[in-house]
Amino acid sequence: MNNIRLFLWLTLAGAAWLTYTAWMADYGARKPANPPVTTEQPGTATNDVPRGTSGSGSQPPQQAPPQQAAVTTGELIHVRTDVLDLQIASQGGDLVRADLLQYPVDKDIPDHLVRLLDESGPTRWVFQSGVSSAVGGAEPTHLGTFRSANNEYVLVPGQDELVVTLDWVSDGPISARKTYTFRRGRYDIALNMTVTPAAGGSWEGTPYVRMERFHTPAKRSYTSPDSYSFKGPVLYNGDSFERIKFNDLVGTPETQQNVKGGWFASIQHHFLAAAVPPSDAVYNYEATARGSVSADGQPSTDTGVFVLTAVGPTTDVDAAMPLSTTFTLFVGPKLQAQLQEVGGDLERTVDYGWTTVLAQPLFTVLDWVHSWVNNWGFAIILVTILIKAVFYKLTAMSGRSMAKMRKIGPRMKALQERYKDDREGLSKAMMELYKKEKVNPAAGCLPILIQMPFFFAFYWVLVESVEMRQAPFALWLQDLSAHDPFYVLPALMAAAMFFQTRMSPAPPDPVQARMMQIMPLVFAAFLVVFPAGLVLYQLTNTSLSILQQWRINKIVARESAAT
Protein backbone atom coordinates (compact mmCIF):
# COMPACT_ATOMS: atom_id res chain seq x y z
CA MET A 1 0.00 0.00 0.00
CA ASN A 2 1.32 3.43 -0.83
CA ASN A 3 1.65 4.94 2.65
CA ILE A 4 2.14 8.55 1.67
CA ARG A 5 -0.95 8.37 -0.54
CA LEU A 6 -2.93 6.97 2.38
CA PHE A 7 -1.64 9.76 4.60
CA LEU A 8 -2.61 12.41 2.08
CA TRP A 9 -6.10 10.97 1.63
CA LEU A 10 -6.66 10.74 5.37
CA THR A 11 -5.47 14.29 5.92
CA LEU A 12 -7.63 15.55 3.09
CA ALA A 13 -10.59 13.71 4.59
CA GLY A 14 -9.90 15.34 7.96
CA ALA A 15 -9.73 18.79 6.42
CA ALA A 16 -12.96 18.08 4.58
CA TRP A 17 -14.54 17.03 7.88
CA LEU A 18 -13.60 20.38 9.46
CA THR A 19 -15.12 22.16 6.47
CA TYR A 20 -18.26 20.03 6.75
CA THR A 21 -18.73 20.87 10.45
CA ALA A 22 -18.50 24.57 9.67
CA TRP A 23 -21.03 24.22 6.85
CA MET A 24 -23.43 22.27 9.05
CA ALA A 25 -23.15 24.93 11.75
CA ASP A 26 -24.33 27.47 9.18
CA TYR A 27 -26.80 25.54 7.04
CA GLY A 28 -27.50 22.25 8.77
CA ALA A 29 -30.96 21.09 9.69
CA ARG A 30 -32.54 22.89 12.59
CA LYS A 31 -35.53 22.12 14.73
CA PRO A 32 -38.76 23.85 13.73
CA ALA A 33 -39.17 27.31 15.07
CA ASN A 34 -41.18 27.76 18.24
CA PRO A 35 -44.46 29.65 18.22
CA PRO A 36 -44.16 33.44 18.14
CA VAL A 37 -42.84 34.90 21.35
CA THR A 38 -45.06 37.41 23.10
CA THR A 39 -43.62 40.60 24.48
CA GLU A 40 -46.02 41.53 27.26
CA GLN A 41 -44.72 43.04 30.46
CA PRO A 42 -41.36 44.30 29.30
CA GLY A 43 -38.84 44.32 32.07
CA THR A 44 -40.20 41.36 34.00
CA ALA A 45 -36.81 39.66 33.99
CA THR A 46 -35.19 42.43 35.96
CA ASN A 47 -38.14 42.61 38.35
CA ASP A 48 -38.42 38.91 39.08
CA VAL A 49 -36.55 37.45 42.03
CA PRO A 50 -35.76 33.73 42.39
CA ARG A 51 -37.69 32.15 45.26
CA GLY A 52 -36.63 29.09 47.18
CA THR A 53 -38.55 26.56 49.16
CA SER A 54 -37.50 25.11 52.42
CA GLY A 55 -34.87 22.51 51.51
CA SER A 56 -34.22 22.55 47.80
CA GLY A 57 -37.12 23.66 45.60
CA SER A 58 -37.18 26.87 43.62
CA GLN A 59 -39.68 28.81 41.58
CA PRO A 60 -38.32 29.39 38.07
CA PRO A 61 -37.36 33.00 37.43
CA GLN A 62 -38.73 34.81 34.42
CA GLN A 63 -36.40 35.98 31.70
CA ALA A 64 -35.95 39.37 30.12
CA PRO A 65 -37.49 40.06 26.73
CA PRO A 66 -34.52 40.65 24.44
CA GLN A 67 -36.00 43.83 23.02
CA GLN A 68 -36.20 45.63 26.39
CA ALA A 69 -34.31 48.85 26.88
CA ALA A 70 -31.31 49.15 29.16
CA VAL A 71 -32.23 48.67 32.80
CA THR A 72 -31.47 51.21 35.47
CA THR A 73 -28.18 50.51 37.18
CA GLY A 74 -28.02 53.55 39.46
CA GLU A 75 -24.60 54.85 40.35
CA LEU A 76 -21.60 52.95 39.06
CA ILE A 77 -18.65 51.95 41.23
CA HIS A 78 -15.40 51.64 39.30
CA VAL A 79 -12.95 48.89 40.27
CA ARG A 80 -9.58 48.40 38.61
CA THR A 81 -7.09 45.60 39.27
CA ASP A 82 -3.98 44.69 37.30
CA VAL A 83 -6.04 42.45 34.98
CA LEU A 84 -9.65 43.68 35.19
CA ASP A 85 -11.46 46.97 34.76
CA LEU A 86 -14.97 46.57 36.21
CA GLN A 87 -18.11 48.44 37.11
CA ILE A 88 -20.49 47.53 39.94
CA ALA A 89 -23.98 49.00 39.86
CA SER A 90 -25.46 50.45 43.02
CA GLN A 91 -28.79 48.92 42.02
CA GLY A 92 -28.36 45.32 43.03
CA GLY A 93 -24.68 45.72 43.87
CA ASP A 94 -23.96 43.58 40.81
CA LEU A 95 -21.16 43.29 38.27
CA VAL A 96 -22.34 44.97 35.09
CA ARG A 97 -19.15 45.59 33.11
CA ALA A 98 -15.78 43.88 32.78
CA ASP A 99 -12.89 44.73 30.46
CA LEU A 100 -9.83 42.46 30.25
CA LEU A 101 -6.79 44.72 30.49
CA GLN A 102 -4.33 42.18 29.08
CA TYR A 103 -6.47 40.97 26.16
CA PRO A 104 -6.98 43.35 23.25
CA VAL A 105 -9.41 42.31 20.54
CA ASP A 106 -6.66 42.96 18.00
CA LYS A 107 -3.03 42.98 19.12
CA ASP A 108 -2.37 45.86 16.70
CA ILE A 109 -4.94 47.99 18.56
CA PRO A 110 -3.95 47.48 22.22
CA ASP A 111 -6.50 49.96 23.60
CA HIS A 112 -9.47 48.05 22.18
CA LEU A 113 -9.97 45.54 24.97
CA VAL A 114 -12.09 42.42 25.14
CA ARG A 115 -15.26 43.26 27.08
CA LEU A 116 -17.12 40.33 28.61
CA LEU A 117 -19.77 42.02 30.76
CA ASP A 118 -21.89 44.98 29.69
CA GLU A 119 -25.03 46.43 31.18
CA SER A 120 -27.10 47.36 28.14
CA GLY A 121 -27.78 47.01 24.47
CA PRO A 122 -27.23 43.97 22.25
CA THR A 123 -24.10 43.12 24.26
CA ARG A 124 -25.98 42.91 27.56
CA TRP A 125 -24.27 40.38 29.85
CA VAL A 126 -24.50 40.82 33.62
CA PHE A 127 -24.32 38.96 36.91
CA GLN A 128 -27.13 39.44 39.43
CA SER A 129 -27.26 38.15 42.97
CA GLY A 130 -29.11 38.55 46.22
CA VAL A 131 -31.07 36.91 48.99
CA SER A 132 -34.84 36.60 48.57
CA SER A 133 -37.16 36.60 51.56
CA ALA A 134 -39.27 33.59 52.49
CA VAL A 135 -41.35 35.63 54.96
CA GLY A 136 -42.19 38.68 52.84
CA GLY A 137 -41.23 42.29 53.38
CA ALA A 138 -38.02 44.02 52.39
CA GLU A 139 -35.31 41.81 50.89
CA PRO A 140 -31.74 42.42 49.65
CA THR A 141 -32.16 41.23 46.08
CA HIS A 142 -30.66 42.43 42.82
CA LEU A 143 -33.45 45.03 42.75
CA GLY A 144 -32.32 46.68 45.96
CA THR A 145 -30.04 49.67 46.34
CA PHE A 146 -26.53 49.26 47.72
CA ARG A 147 -24.02 51.89 48.80
CA SER A 148 -20.25 51.82 49.06
CA ALA A 149 -17.92 54.12 50.95
CA ASN A 150 -16.16 55.03 47.68
CA ASN A 151 -17.02 55.00 44.00
CA GLU A 152 -13.44 54.30 42.87
CA TYR A 153 -11.24 51.36 43.89
CA VAL A 154 -7.78 50.59 42.50
CA LEU A 155 -5.41 47.75 43.26
CA VAL A 156 -2.17 49.70 43.75
CA PRO A 157 1.34 48.28 43.17
CA GLY A 158 2.43 46.11 46.08
CA GLN A 159 -1.18 45.36 47.06
CA ASP A 160 -2.25 41.74 46.55
CA GLU A 161 -5.93 42.00 47.48
CA LEU A 162 -8.67 44.55 46.98
CA VAL A 163 -11.92 44.40 48.98
CA VAL A 164 -15.04 46.31 47.94
CA THR A 165 -17.92 46.40 50.42
CA LEU A 166 -21.48 47.45 49.62
CA ASP A 167 -24.24 47.83 52.22
CA TRP A 168 -27.90 47.41 51.47
CA VAL A 169 -29.94 50.60 51.85
CA SER A 170 -32.96 49.68 53.99
CA ASP A 171 -34.65 50.60 57.26
CA GLY A 172 -36.09 47.11 57.71
CA PRO A 173 -35.48 44.57 60.48
CA ILE A 174 -32.46 43.12 58.67
CA SER A 175 -29.17 44.44 57.34
CA ALA A 176 -27.31 43.00 54.36
CA ARG A 177 -23.90 43.38 52.77
CA LYS A 178 -22.12 42.31 49.61
CA THR A 179 -18.34 42.01 49.69
CA TYR A 180 -16.24 41.54 46.57
CA THR A 181 -12.66 40.36 46.92
CA PHE A 182 -10.27 40.79 44.00
CA ARG A 183 -6.73 39.40 43.89
CA ARG A 184 -3.70 40.39 41.88
CA GLY A 185 -3.38 38.53 38.60
CA ARG A 186 -6.63 36.67 39.17
CA TYR A 187 -9.89 36.50 37.23
CA ASP A 188 -11.85 34.69 39.93
CA ILE A 189 -13.76 37.02 42.26
CA ALA A 190 -15.13 36.08 45.67
CA LEU A 191 -18.63 37.45 46.32
CA ASN A 192 -19.78 37.12 49.91
CA MET A 193 -23.38 37.96 50.84
CA THR A 194 -24.44 38.30 54.46
CA VAL A 195 -27.84 39.00 55.98
CA THR A 196 -28.13 39.81 59.69
CA PRO A 197 -31.49 40.19 61.48
CA ALA A 198 -31.87 42.76 64.25
CA ALA A 199 -31.16 41.64 67.78
CA GLY A 200 -33.89 39.31 69.02
CA GLY A 201 -35.34 38.79 65.56
CA SER A 202 -35.15 36.01 62.98
CA TRP A 203 -35.51 35.80 59.23
CA GLU A 204 -35.70 33.25 56.42
CA GLY A 205 -33.87 33.85 53.17
CA THR A 206 -32.74 32.12 49.99
CA PRO A 207 -29.42 33.09 48.35
CA TYR A 208 -29.17 33.05 44.58
CA VAL A 209 -26.93 34.10 41.72
CA ARG A 210 -27.96 34.52 38.12
CA MET A 211 -26.65 35.64 34.77
CA GLU A 212 -28.46 37.41 31.95
CA ARG A 213 -26.95 37.53 28.49
CA PHE A 214 -28.18 38.62 25.10
CA HIS A 215 -27.23 35.81 22.73
CA THR A 216 -26.15 36.24 19.14
CA PRO A 217 -24.77 33.30 17.15
CA ALA A 218 -21.04 33.21 16.45
CA LYS A 219 -20.21 34.41 12.96
CA ARG A 220 -19.29 31.48 10.78
CA SER A 221 -16.21 31.78 8.63
CA TYR A 222 -13.71 29.29 7.27
CA THR A 223 -10.91 31.68 8.25
CA SER A 224 -12.08 32.18 11.83
CA PRO A 225 -11.62 29.68 14.69
CA ASP A 226 -14.82 31.11 16.19
CA SER A 227 -16.64 28.98 13.64
CA TYR A 228 -15.81 25.82 15.55
CA SER A 229 -15.95 26.96 19.19
CA PHE A 230 -19.20 26.64 21.12
CA LYS A 231 -20.83 29.91 22.18
CA GLY A 232 -23.65 29.86 24.69
CA PRO A 233 -24.80 28.63 28.12
CA VAL A 234 -23.43 25.57 29.88
CA LEU A 235 -24.43 23.79 33.09
CA TYR A 236 -22.38 21.45 35.26
CA ASN A 237 -24.06 19.30 37.90
CA GLY A 238 -20.95 17.96 39.59
CA ASP A 239 -20.74 15.05 37.16
CA SER A 240 -21.78 15.94 33.61
CA PHE A 241 -20.97 19.02 31.55
CA GLU A 242 -23.83 20.12 29.30
CA ARG A 243 -23.62 22.58 26.43
CA ILE A 244 -27.06 24.03 25.72
CA LYS A 245 -27.94 25.34 22.28
CA PHE A 246 -29.86 28.58 22.50
CA ASN A 247 -32.50 27.61 19.97
CA ASP A 248 -33.15 24.39 21.91
CA LEU A 249 -33.52 26.37 25.12
CA VAL A 250 -36.15 28.76 23.77
CA GLY A 251 -39.47 27.55 25.14
CA THR A 252 -37.88 24.49 26.80
CA PRO A 253 -36.20 25.38 30.12
CA GLU A 254 -33.39 23.18 31.40
CA THR A 255 -33.42 22.36 35.13
CA GLN A 256 -31.11 20.47 37.45
CA GLN A 257 -32.27 19.88 41.02
CA ASN A 258 -30.44 19.21 44.28
CA VAL A 259 -26.93 19.66 42.90
CA LYS A 260 -23.74 19.79 44.93
CA GLY A 261 -20.52 21.00 43.38
CA GLY A 262 -22.19 22.48 40.30
CA TRP A 263 -21.89 25.75 38.41
CA PHE A 264 -23.16 27.59 35.37
CA ALA A 265 -21.35 29.62 32.74
CA SER A 266 -21.61 31.35 29.43
CA ILE A 267 -18.67 30.40 27.25
CA GLN A 268 -17.30 31.53 23.94
CA HIS A 269 -14.05 31.25 22.04
CA HIS A 270 -11.22 31.76 24.57
CA PHE A 271 -13.35 33.51 27.25
CA LEU A 272 -16.10 32.85 29.77
CA ALA A 273 -18.07 34.16 32.71
CA ALA A 274 -19.10 31.62 35.34
CA ALA A 275 -20.72 31.47 38.76
CA VAL A 276 -19.68 28.75 41.19
CA PRO A 277 -21.85 28.39 44.32
CA PRO A 278 -20.48 26.85 47.53
CA SER A 279 -19.59 23.23 46.81
CA ASP A 280 -20.93 21.96 50.13
CA ALA A 281 -24.46 23.34 49.67
CA VAL A 282 -27.35 22.01 47.60
CA TYR A 283 -28.42 24.30 44.76
CA ASN A 284 -31.06 24.15 42.06
CA TYR A 285 -30.08 25.27 38.55
CA GLU A 286 -32.23 26.53 35.74
CA ALA A 287 -31.58 27.82 32.24
CA THR A 288 -34.30 29.68 30.36
CA ALA A 289 -34.37 31.70 27.15
CA ARG A 290 -36.62 33.84 25.02
CA GLY A 291 -36.08 34.47 21.34
CA SER A 292 -36.07 37.97 19.92
CA VAL A 293 -38.61 39.61 17.66
CA SER A 294 -37.40 41.34 14.50
CA ALA A 295 -38.52 44.76 13.32
CA ASP A 296 -41.11 43.17 11.03
CA GLY A 297 -42.57 41.22 13.94
CA GLN A 298 -41.13 37.83 13.01
CA PRO A 299 -39.90 35.62 15.87
CA SER A 300 -36.34 34.32 15.99
CA THR A 301 -34.81 31.44 17.94
CA ASP A 302 -31.25 32.35 16.97
CA THR A 303 -30.99 35.54 18.99
CA GLY A 304 -32.47 36.61 22.31
CA VAL A 305 -31.81 36.55 26.04
CA PHE A 306 -30.92 33.55 28.14
CA VAL A 307 -30.89 33.47 31.92
CA LEU A 308 -28.91 31.06 34.09
CA THR A 309 -29.88 30.80 37.75
CA ALA A 310 -28.58 28.98 40.81
CA VAL A 311 -30.85 29.04 43.87
CA GLY A 312 -29.69 27.83 47.27
CA PRO A 313 -31.63 26.39 50.20
CA THR A 314 -33.88 28.57 52.34
CA THR A 315 -32.19 29.19 55.67
CA ASP A 316 -33.57 30.38 59.03
CA VAL A 317 -31.13 32.89 60.58
CA ASP A 318 -30.90 35.21 63.57
CA ALA A 319 -28.53 37.87 64.88
CA ALA A 320 -26.29 35.31 66.55
CA MET A 321 -25.97 33.24 63.39
CA PRO A 322 -26.47 35.41 60.29
CA LEU A 323 -26.77 34.10 56.75
CA SER A 324 -23.42 34.07 54.95
CA THR A 325 -22.86 32.71 51.45
CA THR A 326 -19.82 33.02 49.19
CA PHE A 327 -20.00 32.60 45.43
CA THR A 328 -17.00 32.51 43.13
CA LEU A 329 -17.46 34.53 39.97
CA PHE A 330 -15.00 33.97 37.14
CA VAL A 331 -14.78 36.64 34.45
CA GLY A 332 -11.93 36.29 32.04
CA PRO A 333 -9.89 34.09 29.71
CA LYS A 334 -9.93 30.30 29.85
CA LEU A 335 -6.58 30.08 31.63
CA GLN A 336 -6.48 26.44 32.61
CA ALA A 337 -4.28 26.87 35.67
CA GLN A 338 -6.66 29.42 37.21
CA LEU A 339 -9.76 27.43 36.26
CA GLN A 340 -8.32 24.36 37.97
CA GLU A 341 -7.57 26.35 41.12
CA VAL A 342 -11.19 27.54 41.29
CA GLY A 343 -12.17 23.87 41.38
CA GLY A 344 -15.39 22.13 40.49
CA ASP A 345 -13.94 20.99 37.14
CA LEU A 346 -14.33 24.53 35.82
CA GLU A 347 -11.48 23.79 33.41
CA ARG A 348 -13.97 21.72 31.40
CA THR A 349 -15.08 25.00 29.84
CA VAL A 350 -11.92 24.68 27.75
CA ASP A 351 -13.71 22.66 25.14
CA TYR A 352 -11.49 20.40 23.02
CA GLY A 353 -14.46 18.35 21.89
CA TRP A 354 -13.90 14.68 21.04
CA THR A 355 -10.12 15.18 21.00
CA THR A 356 -9.99 16.01 24.75
CA VAL A 357 -8.41 12.67 25.68
CA LEU A 358 -5.37 13.61 23.55
CA ALA A 359 -5.59 17.40 23.52
CA GLN A 360 -5.57 17.84 27.31
CA PRO A 361 -2.31 15.94 27.97
CA LEU A 362 -0.86 17.47 24.81
CA PHE A 363 -1.54 20.95 26.17
CA THR A 364 -0.05 19.96 29.53
CA VAL A 365 3.19 18.91 27.82
CA LEU A 366 3.19 22.04 25.63
CA ASP A 367 2.65 24.23 28.68
CA TRP A 368 5.51 22.52 30.53
CA VAL A 369 7.88 22.95 27.59
CA HIS A 370 6.76 26.56 27.20
CA SER A 371 7.68 27.23 30.83
CA TRP A 372 11.27 26.41 29.84
CA VAL A 373 11.58 28.04 26.41
CA ASN A 374 9.05 30.88 26.91
CA ASN A 375 7.96 30.73 23.27
CA TRP A 376 4.96 28.78 22.06
CA GLY A 377 6.41 28.30 18.58
CA PHE A 378 9.57 26.65 19.89
CA ALA A 379 7.40 24.65 22.31
CA ILE A 380 5.38 23.30 19.36
CA ILE A 381 8.58 22.31 17.53
CA LEU A 382 10.04 20.57 20.59
CA VAL A 383 6.81 18.72 21.40
CA THR A 384 6.57 17.61 17.76
CA ILE A 385 10.07 16.15 18.09
CA LEU A 386 8.98 14.37 21.29
CA ILE A 387 5.93 12.89 19.56
CA LYS A 388 8.10 11.79 16.65
CA ALA A 389 10.50 10.13 19.09
CA VAL A 390 7.65 8.27 20.80
CA PHE A 391 6.44 6.85 17.46
CA TYR A 392 9.90 6.37 15.99
CA LYS A 393 9.74 2.57 15.92
CA LEU A 394 6.32 2.54 14.30
CA THR A 395 7.24 5.12 11.68
CA ALA A 396 10.52 3.29 11.03
CA MET A 397 8.48 0.19 10.20
CA SER A 398 6.42 2.25 7.77
CA GLY A 399 9.57 3.77 6.32
CA ARG A 400 11.23 0.41 5.68
CA SER A 401 8.09 -0.78 3.92
CA MET A 402 8.12 2.31 1.70
CA ALA A 403 11.83 1.89 0.94
CA LYS A 404 11.37 -1.73 -0.08
CA MET A 405 8.30 -0.91 -2.15
CA ARG A 406 10.33 1.76 -3.93
CA LYS A 407 13.14 -0.75 -4.55
CA ILE A 408 10.84 -3.30 -6.21
CA GLY A 409 8.90 -0.62 -8.09
CA PRO A 410 10.40 -1.43 -11.53
CA ARG A 411 9.66 -5.14 -11.09
CA MET A 412 6.08 -4.38 -10.09
CA LYS A 413 5.66 -2.25 -13.20
CA ALA A 414 7.03 -5.06 -15.35
CA LEU A 415 4.52 -7.48 -13.83
CA GLN A 416 1.70 -5.08 -14.57
CA GLU A 417 2.76 -4.86 -18.18
CA ARG A 418 3.01 -8.66 -18.43
CA TYR A 419 -0.37 -9.33 -16.80
CA LYS A 420 -2.25 -6.25 -17.98
CA ASP A 421 -5.12 -8.41 -19.24
CA ASP A 422 -5.03 -10.96 -16.40
CA ARG A 423 -6.02 -9.48 -13.04
CA GLU A 424 -5.95 -12.83 -11.26
CA GLY A 425 -2.49 -13.63 -12.61
CA LEU A 426 -1.23 -10.17 -11.67
CA SER A 427 -2.51 -10.53 -8.11
CA LYS A 428 -0.82 -13.91 -7.73
CA ALA A 429 2.49 -12.66 -9.18
CA MET A 430 2.45 -9.60 -6.94
CA MET A 431 1.88 -11.71 -3.84
CA GLU A 432 4.78 -13.97 -4.80
CA LEU A 433 7.00 -10.92 -5.28
CA TYR A 434 6.00 -9.51 -1.88
CA LYS A 435 6.73 -12.87 -0.26
CA LYS A 436 10.09 -13.28 -1.97
CA GLU A 437 11.26 -9.77 -1.06
CA LYS A 438 9.68 -9.92 2.41
CA VAL A 439 7.56 -6.81 1.79
CA ASN A 440 4.30 -6.14 3.58
CA PRO A 441 2.47 -3.39 1.64
CA ALA A 442 0.12 -2.77 4.59
CA ALA A 443 2.91 -2.46 7.17
CA GLY A 444 2.81 1.35 7.22
CA CYS A 445 -0.91 1.84 7.73
CA LEU A 446 -0.96 1.63 11.52
CA PRO A 447 1.65 4.35 12.21
CA ILE A 448 -0.17 6.78 9.93
CA LEU A 449 -3.57 6.04 11.49
CA ILE A 450 -2.12 6.50 14.98
CA GLN A 451 -0.59 9.87 14.13
CA MET A 452 -3.72 11.35 12.52
CA PRO A 453 -5.54 12.00 15.86
CA PHE A 454 -2.56 14.07 17.00
CA PHE A 455 -3.09 16.34 14.02
CA PHE A 456 -6.67 17.05 15.12
CA ALA A 457 -5.69 17.31 18.80
CA PHE A 458 -3.04 19.88 17.90
CA TYR A 459 -5.65 21.78 15.93
CA TRP A 460 -8.00 22.04 18.89
CA VAL A 461 -5.21 22.92 21.32
CA LEU A 462 -4.16 25.79 19.09
CA VAL A 463 -7.71 26.96 18.43
CA GLU A 464 -9.18 26.65 21.91
CA SER A 465 -6.27 27.34 24.30
CA VAL A 466 -6.30 31.04 25.15
CA GLU A 467 -2.69 30.73 26.30
CA MET A 468 -1.72 30.68 22.61
CA ARG A 469 -4.05 33.50 21.58
CA GLN A 470 -2.00 36.17 19.78
CA ALA A 471 1.17 34.33 20.86
CA PRO A 472 4.18 35.39 18.75
CA PHE A 473 6.77 33.01 17.37
CA ALA A 474 9.40 34.79 15.25
CA LEU A 475 9.77 37.15 12.32
CA TRP A 476 6.43 37.59 10.56
CA LEU A 477 4.60 35.02 12.71
CA GLN A 478 3.16 37.11 15.52
CA ASP A 479 0.02 35.08 16.21
CA LEU A 480 0.23 31.28 16.19
CA SER A 481 -3.53 30.94 16.62
CA ALA A 482 -4.19 32.79 13.34
CA HIS A 483 -3.28 31.85 9.80
CA ASP A 484 0.11 32.77 8.35
CA PRO A 485 -0.45 36.31 6.98
CA PHE A 486 2.05 35.80 4.13
CA TYR A 487 1.34 32.07 3.54
CA VAL A 488 5.01 31.19 3.86
CA LEU A 489 4.42 28.14 6.06
CA PRO A 490 1.76 26.62 3.76
CA ALA A 491 4.12 27.11 0.82
CA LEU A 492 6.98 25.44 2.69
CA MET A 493 4.59 22.66 3.69
CA ALA A 494 3.59 22.10 0.05
CA ALA A 495 7.26 21.92 -0.94
CA ALA A 496 8.01 19.47 1.88
CA MET A 497 5.09 17.24 0.93
CA PHE A 498 6.11 17.30 -2.72
CA PHE A 499 9.64 16.25 -1.77
CA GLN A 500 8.20 13.54 0.49
CA THR A 501 6.15 12.11 -2.37
CA ARG A 502 9.33 11.93 -4.48
CA MET A 503 10.81 9.65 -1.83
CA SER A 504 7.80 7.35 -1.98
CA PRO A 505 7.19 4.53 -4.46
CA ALA A 506 5.53 5.98 -7.55
CA PRO A 507 2.05 4.65 -8.33
CA PRO A 508 1.98 2.61 -11.55
CA ASP A 509 -1.27 4.26 -12.61
CA PRO A 510 -0.56 7.61 -14.40
CA VAL A 511 -3.76 9.13 -12.99
CA GLN A 512 -2.74 8.23 -9.44
CA ALA A 513 0.76 9.54 -10.11
CA ARG A 514 -0.67 12.87 -11.26
CA MET A 515 -2.89 13.02 -8.19
CA MET A 516 0.14 12.43 -5.98
CA GLN A 517 1.76 15.48 -7.55
CA ILE A 518 -1.33 17.65 -7.11
CA MET A 519 -2.19 16.54 -3.57
CA PRO A 520 0.48 18.71 -1.84
CA LEU A 521 -1.01 21.80 -3.45
CA VAL A 522 -4.53 20.78 -2.40
CA PHE A 523 -3.41 20.15 1.16
CA ALA A 524 -1.51 23.46 1.24
CA ALA A 525 -4.70 25.23 0.13
CA PHE A 526 -6.47 23.84 3.20
CA LEU A 527 -3.59 24.86 5.44
CA VAL A 528 -3.82 28.46 4.26
CA VAL A 529 -6.74 29.09 6.65
CA PHE A 530 -5.48 26.88 9.49
CA PRO A 531 -3.67 28.36 12.52
CA ALA A 532 0.00 29.02 11.85
CA GLY A 533 0.92 26.92 14.88
CA LEU A 534 -0.79 23.89 13.33
CA VAL A 535 1.06 24.36 10.04
CA LEU A 536 4.29 24.75 12.03
CA TYR A 537 3.57 21.42 13.72
CA GLN A 538 2.82 19.69 10.41
CA LEU A 539 5.86 21.22 8.70
CA THR A 540 8.12 20.10 11.53
CA ASN A 541 6.60 16.61 11.51
CA THR A 542 6.93 16.29 7.74
CA SER A 543 10.54 17.52 7.78
CA LEU A 544 11.42 14.96 10.44
CA SER A 545 9.67 12.25 8.41
CA ILE A 546 11.73 13.19 5.34
CA LEU A 547 14.97 12.95 7.32
CA GLN A 548 13.91 9.63 8.82
CA GLN A 549 12.90 8.23 5.43
CA TRP A 550 16.17 9.40 3.84
CA ARG A 551 18.12 7.56 6.55
CA ILE A 552 16.00 4.39 6.14
CA ASN A 553 16.44 4.45 2.36
CA LYS A 554 20.21 4.53 2.87
CA ILE A 555 20.08 1.61 5.29
CA VAL A 556 17.87 -0.48 2.98
CA ALA A 557 20.17 0.31 0.05
CA ARG A 558 23.22 -0.88 2.05
CA GLU A 559 21.39 -4.05 3.08
CA SER A 560 20.46 -4.76 -0.55
CA ALA A 561 24.05 -4.17 -1.68
CA ALA A 562 25.36 -6.53 1.00
CA THR A 563 23.12 -9.32 -0.23
What does the DSSP 8-state code read for residue 467? G
Q: Residues in the chain, how many?
A: 563
Of 222, 220, 256, give the one whose Cα is nearest residue 239.
256
Distances in whole angstroms, Cα of residue 222 to Cα of each of 9, 21, 48, 115, 489: 21, 10, 41, 24, 18
Question: Could you tell me which residue, 355 or 188, shows the higher pLDDT?
Answer: 188
Single pTM value for the model: 0.78
d(CA 208, CA 382) in angstroms, rounded, equals: 48
For residue 125, the model assigns a pLDDT of 94
Contact between 92 and 142 (Cβ < 8 Å): yes
Question: Could you tell me which residue, 233 or 202, shows the higher pLDDT?
Answer: 233
Could you please state the CATH topology (level 3) that the domain comprising 31-35+71-351 is classified under.
Answer: Beta-galactosidase; Chain A, domain 5 (2.70.98)
The pLDDT-based confidence of 277 (bands split at 50, 70, 90) is: very high
pLDDT at 230 over 50: yes
d(CA 333, CA 71) in angstroms, rounded, equals: 27
For residue 48, the model assigns a pLDDT of 74
pLDDT at 7 over 50: no
Least confident among 143-152, 223-232, 256-265, 521-530: 223-232
For residue 514, the model assigns a pLDDT of 61
Give residue 330's identity as a one-letter amino acid code.
Answer: F
What's the longest Cα–Cα distance across the chain? 106
What does the DSSP 8-state code read for residue 505? P
Contact between 137 and 119 (Cβ < 8 Å): no
Mean pLDDT computed over 159-180:
91
Mean pLDDT computed over 238-245:
88
Question: Could you tell me which residue, 444 or 539, shows the higher pLDDT?
Answer: 539
Distances in whole angstroms, Cα of residue 250 to Cα of each of 303, 306, 479: 10, 8, 37
Q: Order of strands, edge to edge, in the sheet holding 152-154?
A: 109-117, 94-106, 84-89, 76-80, 152-154
Of 158, 167, 164, 180, give the one whose Cα is nearest residue 82.
158
The burial of 274, by beta-carbon neighbours within 10 Å (0-12 exposed, 13-18 middle, 19 or more buried), is given as: buried
Question: Residue 358: how many CA atoms within 13 Å on its side-chain side?
Answer: 14
Distances in whole angstroms, Cα of residue 502 to Cα of each of 215, 539, 546: 51, 16, 10
For residue 482, the model assigns a pLDDT of 79
Question: Could you tell me which residue, 56 or 322, shows the higher pLDDT?
Answer: 322
| Backbone φ and ψ of 67, nearest 5° | -90, 5
For residue 38, the model assigns a pLDDT of 33
d(CA 73, CA 71) in angstroms, rounded, equals: 6
Task: Give per-residue pLDDT as tens, 434-454.
Answer: 666 666 655 555 556 766 787
Least confident among 133-147, 252-266, 408-422: 408-422
The pLDDT-based confidence of 553 (bands split at 50, 70, 90) is: low
| Backbone φ and ψ of 156, nearest 5° | -85, 160
Where exactly are the structural domains of the chain? 3-18+364-562, 31-35+71-351
What does the DSSP 8-state code read for residue 127? E
Of 168, 2, 165, give the one whose Cα is nearest residue 512.
2
Give residue 436's identity as a one-letter amino acid code.
Answer: K
For residue 221, the model assigns a pLDDT of 54
Task: Give per-residue pLDDT as tens, 75-85.
Answer: 899 999 999 99
Give residue 148's identity as a one-letter amino acid code.
Answer: S
Angle of helix 3-27 relative to helix 392-407, nearest 10 degrees, comes to: 120
pLDDT at 136 over 70: yes
For residue 439, the model assigns a pLDDT of 64
Query: What end-to-end distance do the CA atoms of the chain give, in Å?
Result: 25
The pLDDT-based confidence of 87 (bands split at 50, 70, 90) is: very high
335-356 as b/e: b if 16+ CB within 10 A: bbebbeebebbbbbbbbbeebb
pLDDT at 297 over 60: yes
